Structure 1
Amino acid sequence: MNDPDCLFCKIVGGDLPSTKVLETERVLAFRDINPHAPTHVLVIPKDHYANVAELTGADPGLAAEVLAAAAGVADAEGVADSGWRLLANSGPNAGQEVSHVHFHVFGGRPLGPMLSA
């Protein structure tokens, strides 16, 4: 399942470059091009799902694989013990900029409060 107009589908397909951190048969993790922390990696399912609800409704097993991959990224990046944040924006009010479900793995420094006032 792929969307030819989706930025992340183009990365999965090799049409756009990325710096891969982790890859499995169904999940890809790559560095964010505009990092907000020393570790800032995006973890996505290779198949296109628009948001968290769509992914979990269609394939809960894949959702679990994505979360396990995020934990693997934190370990590989050396932030598992010091602490890391997993963030998924789902929908326009949450600030989702690419309509392909993705999880941000942040770490490498104190991250502060989750939401600003």
Structure 2
Amino acid sequence: MNINNIFQKIIKKKIPSEIVYQNKKITAFKDISPKAPIHILIVPNKFIKNLNYINKKNICILSEMLYTSIKIAKKKKIHKSGYRIIINCNKNGCQKIPYLHIHLIGGKKLNNF
């Protein structure tokens, strides 16, 4: 893995981050600019630029990421009160970092949009 992206640096522990879960396929860590009391980013350990790059060979990573989101929501005790999962894609979708990631947000009443 060429370490040139902040998420890749976090995965490889080249920069400090509060990792809440990591396995061979994915890493989950606290967002440095949280939008709610619980704001976790879930990323694949193997680089995928965005949702448009999901294909038959790597589709299983989405299941792993979503399942991990559920596990973290339960661990953080927001699974009953509610939470939001967001995947931004490209500029108009507000994707700021060109690396596929899920935002798990909760811990308070979220605004409608």
Normalising to structure 1: TM-score of the pair? 0.91
Quote the Cα distance in structure 2 between the aligned partners of 1:62 and 1:41. 17
- Deviation readout 1:56-94 (Å, 9 max, x if unpaired): 214011111011111111111110111000001010111
Aligned to 1:38: 37
Alpha carbons 1:20, 1:30 under 8 Å: kept: yes
The alpha-carbon deviation at position 48 of structure 1 amounts to 0.5
**RMSD of aligned residue pairs (Cα, Å):** 1.0
Name the counterpart of 2:86: 87
Per-residue Cα deviation, 1:23-68 (whole angstroms, up to 9, x for no partner): 12211110001111010000011111000121x2140111110111
C-alpha distance in 2, partners of 1:76/1:35? Answer: 18
1:3·1:48 contact (CA, 8 Å) conserved in 2? Answer: no
Amino acid corresponding to residue 101 of structure 1 in structure 2: L
Q: Which amino acid aligns with 2:9?
A: K
Q: Which runs of 4+ in 1 moved over 2 A?
A: none
| Corresponding residue for residue 66 of structure 1 | 65
Alignment of 1:1-117 (within 5 A): 2-54=1-53, 56-57=54-55, 58-113=57-112, 115=113
Q: Which amino acid aligns with 1:77?
A: K
Amino acid at match of 1:64: S
User: What one-letter code is carried by the residue in structure 2 that aligns with 1:87?
Assistant: I
What letter matches 2:29 in structure 1?
A: F
Q: Which runs of 5+ in 2 are unaligned?
A: none
Matched pairs, number: 112
Q: TM (normalized to structure 2)?
A: 0.94
Residue segments in structure 1 that go unaligned for 5+ positions in a row: none
